[in-house]
Chain A
Amino acid sequence: MNLVVVTAGLTQPSSTRLLADRLAEATARRIEEAGGAVEVRVIELRDLAGDIANTFVTGFAGARLRDVIDAATSADGLIAVTPIFTASYSGLFKSFFDVIGNDALVGKPVLIAATGGTARHSLALEHAMRPLFAYLRAIVTPTAVYAASEDWGGDGDATGVLSDRVARAAGELAGLLTRRHPAQNAPEAFEDVIPFEQQLAALRP
C-alpha cells in the first residue's frame, strides 16, 4: 500500500521532517509486522511553495504540483505534519490543503502531527488541525503527535516520551490501513455524468 507523508517544515533539516520520518518509519514497521508491504513517499511542501502560491493566482495546479496532489489523493493513508506558527498550522501547510480540493481526502486515514518551540501550543493539533481534516471528511487517528523542542531529549512527561506517542499514533494509523480496502485511484474521467434528461426532470415544477 501507499503511504504519503506531507511535511511543511521550512528549515533544512527541519524537526518537522524529523518527526514525519519517525512517524512514517513506525507506521511502515507496524504494517510490515502485520504482513503488509508499504511504499512511503515524502512530500516536502517547501519545494512546492511557489507552485502552491501560483495555483492561487492562476486557478490551476502546475504539472509538478498535480503529480504531488495525485499522489496524496490516491494514497492509502496520509501523514500530515506542520510546524505550529502563530497558534495554528503554517500558512504553507493550509495552502496545500486549500488547493487539493474539498473531496480529495474523503474517507482517507490520516495521522496528524505538529512541531513547535514549546509544548504550550500542542492543542493547536486539536483546535486547528483536526477540524481541518474533519472538514475534508478524512478519518483522523485518535492520537495526534506534538513534538516540542524539549521532547527531542529528556525523560518525557505524564504522556510518556515522544517515541511512545509516535508508536501509539503509528499503531492506530497502521490499524486503519490494514483493516480497510486499498484506495481507489480514480482520476476524473467524467464517467459518471448525470444524464441530461434526469437533470431536466429534476427541475420540472
Chain B
Amino acid sequence: MMQFGIFSVGDVTMDPTTGRTPTEHERIKAMVAIALKAEEVGLDVFATGEHHNPPFVPSSPTTMLGFIAARTERITLSTATTLITTNDPVKIAEDFAMLQHLADGRVDLMLGRGNTGPVYPWFGQDIRQGIPLAIENYALLHQLWREDVVDWKGRFRTPLQGFTSTPRPLDGVPPFVWHGSIRSPEIAEQAAYYGDGFFANNIFWPKEHFIRLITLYRRRYAHYGHGTPEQAIVGLGGQVFMRKNSQDAVREFRPYFDNAPVYGHGPSLEEFAEETPLTVGSPQQVIDRTLTFRESFGDYQRQLFLMDHAGLPLKTVLEQLDILGEEVVPVLRREFAAGRPAEVPGAPTHASLLTARPSEPAAG
C-alpha cells in the first residue's frame, strides 16, 4: 500500500497576519494536536524534524513520538530527518528501538545530514566530514540493530567491545530506514546499497534535479540486487494549501508564503508554485498535481505533505488536514492504486518486514 502522511519542520514562526508568535510550549502542543488529527483523518504517517536551534522546537523526536504513540492506534511515527551525522548512532539505535516497542512497531525513521552548520561543532563534529559521518554512523547503526553483540572500531566514535544495544528491535525486525537527501548522490547510493528507502525532499527544488537523483537510486538499488529499479522504495515531499475555491486559497496563503522563513521575500507564490511541488488551490488541483509525481518519478511508496509551517495557526492547519484526509487522500489512494504494477511493493511496515524476514532455523 502506498502511504500518505505529513511531515513537520517544527518551526516557531510569527503569524504574519496577526503579528503573534506562539510560545514553544504552544508549538509543541500544536505539533501533537496535528499528529493526532493526522490519525483521525486517516493519514498513514506523521514525521517530525530534528533541530537544535531556535526557532525550532523538536530537538528530541523520540520523546515527542513516544507521547504521540501513547495517544494513537494506527499511524506510523517517523522523522524528517534524524541527524545521522551529529547524533551518536548508539543512542539512535537505543532510542528508536525503545520507541518501536512502545509503539508496537509503528515506527520508522528518515536519516539526514542536517543543514545547519553550527550543529556540527555544537555536537563535537566537523561539517566537512558530513558524508563520511553519515556513512560510518549508519553502518554502525545498521550493525547494532542486526547483531546482538557488536565489536566495532571506526573513525568518529569511541570503539565498542562486546556491546549489545538494548532493547533489541521488536520481533528482531529493525525499524525501516529512509535516507533523505536534497542534493547528494552519495546518499542515494547509500540507500541503494542497503536496500533502504530513499526520500527525496523535493519541495524546494525543481523536479529535474530529483528525477536524476531518484533515477540514480533506482538504478543502483537494482545493481545491488534488491529488486528491479521499479521496486526501489521512494518517498516524496509535497506542500499544499487548499480551500474550496482556489482564489480563496491563494488569497489566504499568500501572506504566509511571502513571509515564510525558508523562501519568503523572494519569488512570487505563482513563480514558486510553477517550479516546485507547492500547490495552492482547490482539493482537485492538489490531486491533479500530486498525481503528476508518478509521471516524473515512477510509482512510489510514500507521499508526505508539509502542512504546518510559516506561522499558519493551528486551527487552519487542522482544517487543512480535514480537507487532506477527507477530500484528497482517498482519491489519491484510488488513483495511485489504479495502474500500479503488481510487482511494485507498498511502503514497508513492521508487519510487512516481519512477513518478509527470512525464516530462522527451527530451534532444536
Residues of A within 8 A of B (CB): 50, 53-54, 56-60, 62-63, 66, 188-190, 193-197, 199-200, 202-203, 205
Pick from A58, A188, A199: contact of B212, CB below 8 A.
A188
Query: How far does the alpha carbon of A60 sit from the alpha carbon of B208 in the complex, in Å?
Result: 12
Query: How far does the alpha carbon of A203 sit from the alpha carbon of B129 in the complex, in Å?
Result: 11
Q: Is the Cβ of A62 less than 8 Å from the Cβ of B212?
A: no
Q: Is the Cβ of A58 less than 8 Å from the Cβ of B263?
A: yes
Query: How far does the alpha carbon of A196 sit from the alpha carbon of B187 in the complex, in Å?
Result: 10
Residue of B nearest to A50 (CB): B267
Knowing that A59-B205, A63-B275, A193-B188 are A-B contacts, what are 12 other residue pairs whose CB atoms are under 8 Å apart, sorted by A's residue number? A56-B266, A60-B209, A62-B275, A63-B274, A190-B213, A193-B185, A193-B189, A193-B220, A196-B189, A199-B189, A203-B135, A203-B155
Query: How far does the alpha carbon of A202 sit from the alpha carbon of B131 in the complex, in Å?
Result: 12
Q: Is the Cβ of B272 less than 8 Å from the Cβ of A58?
A: yes
Q: Is the Cβ of B267 less than 8 Å from the Cβ of A199?
A: no
Residue of A nearest to B220 (CB): A193
Q: Is the Cβ of A57 less than 8 Å from the Cβ of B267?
A: yes
Q: Is the Cβ of A60 less than 8 Å from the Cβ of B265?
A: no
Number of A-B contacts (CB under 8 A): 75
- Asked whether any CB of chain A lies closer than 8 Å to the CB of B271, the reply is yes
- Asked whether any CB of chain A lies closer than 8 Å to the CB of B204, the reply is yes
Query: How far does the alpha carbon of A89 sit from the alpha carbon of B212 in the complex, in Å?
Result: 35
Q: Is the Cβ of B189 less than 8 Å from the Cβ of A58?
A: no
- Asked whether any CB of chain A lies closer than 8 Å to the CB of B2, the reply is no
Query: How far does the alpha carbon of A190 sit from the alpha carbon of B186 in the complex, in Å?
Result: 10
Q: Is the Cβ of B212 less than 8 Å from the Cβ of A190?
A: yes
Closest Cβ of chain B to A99, distance in Å, is 13
- Asked whether any CB of chain A lies closer than 8 Å to the CB of B3, the reply is no
Query: How far does the alpha carbon of A199 sit from the alpha carbon of B191 in the complex, in Å?
Result: 13
Q: Is the Cβ of B132 less than 8 Å from the Cβ of A203?
A: yes
Pick from B136, B264, B275: contact of A203, CB below 8 A.
B136
